[in-house]
Amino acid sequence: MWDYYLGGAHNFAIDRQAAEQILLLHPDMPLVAQVTRAFLRRVVEFLVGQGIDQFLDIGAGIPTVGSVHEIAQRFTPTARVVYVDHDPVAVAHSQAILSGAANAMAIRADARRPQEILDHPAVRNLLDWVAQPAC
């Protein structure tokens, strides 16, 4: 539904139907999604400017339409991103989208169990907890 509000192509008919129902009550939802994405873009640009080149995006949804790795790698091509979501459909879509992406992957995990995220092999392989920002 979020992807639909963002104008993305990674949504199903049932998502669009439910999203349209919500629009009847909250017609500003597409604006909310777009403003949220714009905030995300500004945050990532700021962090990259501070030398941050690793991102753990928890509650990422589907990395479409201005995702963290696209923004970060535009400035720092070697930037690394792990997307985390607990929705298996979002994760499956994410993994398909990211199959050809360098230094970006998606895992299924729950924000309510942060240690499982930190211990996940993909997180341990891709992110370096010791590295310092390259200022």
Ligand X SMILES: C[S@@+](CC[C@H](N)C(=O)[O-])C[C@H]1O[C@@H](n2cnc3c(N)ncnc32)[C@H](O)[C@@H]1O
* Interacting positions 44-83 with ligand X (CB under 6 A): 58-61
Backbone angles phi and psi of 57, in degrees to 5? -100, 100
Cα angle 47-49-53, degrees, rounded to a multiple of 5? 60
Min dist CB 14 to ligand X, Å, is 15
The Cα 20–Cα 130 span in angstroms is: 45
CB 97 within 8 A of CB 64: yes
12-20, 24-32, 108-116, 127-135 -> range binding ligand X (CB under 6 A): 108-116
Tell me the two tokens of residue 135: 């200022």
Binding string, 12-51, against ligand X, x = CB under 6 A? ------------------------xx--x-----------
Query: Interface with ligand X by CB under 6 A: which residues?
Result: 2, 36-37, 40, 58-61, 84-87, 90, 110-112
